[in-house]
Amino acid sequence: MAELHEIEVTAAGWRADKLIAEALPELSRSAVQNLIRDGHVTCDNKIVQKSTKLAPGSVLCVEIPEARPLDVKAENIPLDIVYEDDDLLVVNKPKGMVVHPAAGNYDGTLVNALLYHCGDSLSGINGVIRPGIVHRIDKDTSGLLIVAKNDTAHRHLAEQIKAHSFTREYRAVVYGKIREDGTVDAPIARHPQDRKRMAVQNTPNARNAVTHYFVTKNFTGFTQLRLRLETGRTHQIRVHMAYIGHPVAGDPVYGPKKVITQLHGQCLHAGLIGFIHPRTGEYMEFEAPLPPYFTDFVKTLHAEDE
């Protein structure tokens, strides 16, 4: 059965696609565009386009069709499952694994593995390519992800992310010396020239982004950090740390041109996740230890007090 969401327009100047993205954060950008393109979004019984400006007081209706059978094969890929019940599971994703299928990566992804492990027990809210996926981490970021097994759990978890009550802590090694804890509060949007990158921008389509960081240890030329996300924008930690002059070590996109090749991507680990269970109302928190690639790299660094 299709889902129907009604979104009240409270201010002038909203575009349909931007309002939907704000009100339904569980939907990816491409999913929103596809819904509008296929005529599933109306305002006052008229089909809207993504650039349609909405009048205050009107109601935007978004119909999310029932998920079609997924044309992605289930694969028997081992999963490091930290927790599982009838509503959700928490997975410790290894570095190098893509979360969901996309051009060039139609197999070997976390979704392929989940389809084998869970069968039909995955939320359909995020469509046929991203079943159960409530939030994402980058291919070369390791760590914890929560996966929803049904639509009710998915909605509850997405609401927590939107309300910033979803705890996400990362561990990272960044370039340079950071002496004190701090916060980066800087909006993020798609890079104006390179659509594969994000950037700090003060533009109308930029979304607020807040990252808190805490110094764990100083090394010669590097700092190990614990970071807590208040928001969850694409590449947020990588963009914010590069913005303040301390890109994540090994980051091939936002870091120096001379990349630390031994890391095979950014030294960034989603180490802790906390949320209110959608069925029991209990707060749950899980932690994943630092993986070998991270600890091996730290062993090569020289602590300032040595």
Is 138 annotated in the active site? Answer: yes
What is the rounded end-to-end Cα distance, in angstroms, of the chain? Answer: 63
Q: At what angle do helices 16-23 and 29-37 cross, to 10 degrees?
A: 130
At 100 the three-state DSSP class reads coil
In order of their start, the domains of the chain are: 3-64 (3.10.290.10), 67-160 (3.30.2350.10), 168-270+293-299 (3.30.2350.10)
pLDDT at 131 over 70: yes
* pLDDT (tens digit per residue) in 252-286: 999 999 999 999 999 999 999 999 999 999 999 99
Active-site hit among 138, 140, 151, 251: 138
- Beta strands 268-276 and 167-175 are antiparallel
Q: Which two tokens stand for residue 8?
A: 């009240």
Q: Which two tokens stand for residue 161?
A: 């992310």
* pLDDT (tens digit per residue) in 133-167: 999 899 999 999 999 999 999 999 999 988 889 99
**pTM recorded for the entire structure:** 0.78
Average pLDDT of the residues of the chain? 90
pLDDT at 70: 53
Distances (CA, A) of 238 to 171, 173, 189: 12, 11, 13
What does R_g of the chain's alpha carbons equal in angstroms?
A: 20
